[in-house]
Amino acid sequence: MIRTALFAAFSLCLLLPSAAAFAQPEIVKDSIYFTLDDGIMTPEEMEEEAQYVYGLCNRNPFQNQYFDCGCIAGDFLIQREKLGPMVLQDDIFTAVTSGPNARCANAPMIANLSYNNCLDFVKIAGISPEETPAFCKCAANKAAVDFAKTPKLDTTFSTSVASNALIYCNDPQKRSRFMNRGSAARLN
């Protein structure tokens, strides 16, 4: 009886297709992918590429926290239309996330992440509970503002910005000056 049950289970396994047979490898849709059919990139293909870039950004936990993926896709499309199909996708992506014209920082999310990290930091840094809200608000806003000035898709850079904000806001005079600036210089 056990032998029959095992044989039936084994036979069933052979008849069922594996999940791997259904899994399709994700196609990398680089610049060449969008010109393969006819050697040119139509406006529709440029839009499709920008949507693809949006999806890549949105699935990346670092990118979608530090950058507005919709903004990146829009800037990417503008650059693709301006530069044409011969410029590599990666070069355009780097320009819109780290170049001098990069402007898609997700400042509210950066401030939120920085504030939460600051709350963890104060536990080990010896900041008094009374000072914690002002200190962390300053550090969060300073990190978001500084990152937004020169956004760069680089974890070392984002860590450096956050660390510098903590150091800056640890000085009560600097903290006060920064927090008393207009809302253009900080987030609320």
DSSP 74-133: HHHHHHHHHH-TTS-HHHHHHHHHHSTT---B-HHHHHHHHHHHHHHHHHHHT--TTTHH
Number of domains in the chain: 2
Average pLDDT on 69-84 reads 96
Give the three-state DSSP class for 20: helix
Same domain, 74 and 127: no
The answer as to whether 167 is a domain residue is yes
For the cut 70, the answer to whether the pLDDT of residue 23 exceeds it is no
Segments forming the whole domain that contains residue 116:
107-179
The reply to whether 188 falls in a domain is: no
Query: CA-to-CA distance for 122 and 132, rounded, in angstroms?
Result: 7
7 pLDDT more than 90: no
Confidence of residue 140 (pLDDT cuts 50, 70, 90): very high
How much is the pLDDT for 41? Answer: 87
Count Cβ atoms within 10 A of the Cβ of residue 97 and give its class: 0-12 exposed, 13-18 middle, 19 or more buried: buried
pLDDT band at 99 (very low <50, low <70, confident <90, very high): confident
* Cβ atoms < 10 Å from Cβ of 71: 17
Q: What is the mean pLDDT of the chain?
A: 83
Report the distance separating Cα 178 and Cα 19, nearest Å: 56
Q: 85 lies in a domain? A: yes
- Residue 181: pLDDT band (50, 70, 90) is confident
In a domain, 156, yes or no: yes
Determine what percent of the chain is predicted with pLDDT higher than 90: 62
Other C-beta atoms closer than 10 Å to the C-beta of 62 total 12
59: Cβ–Cβ under 8 A, 6 or more apart, which residues? none
Quick one: pLDDT at residue 16? 37
Clarify whether residues 89 and 130 are in a common domain.
no
| For residue 13, pLDDT beyond 50 | no
Q: Is residue 78 part of a domain?
A: yes
Structure tokens at 54: 């949006």
Please indicate, yes or no, if residue 94 is contained in any of the structural domains: yes
Higher pLDDT, 169 or 37: 169
Phi, psi of 112 (to 5 degrees): -65, -45
Lowest-confidence pick of 1-5, 98-102, 140-144: 1-5
What would the pLDDT profile of 33-73 be if each residue is shown by its tens digit? 676 677 788 999 999 999 999 999 999 999 999 999 999 99
Q: Is the pLDDT of residue 164 over 50?
A: yes
Contact assessment for residue 133 and residue 96, using Cβ atoms and an 8 Å cutoff: no
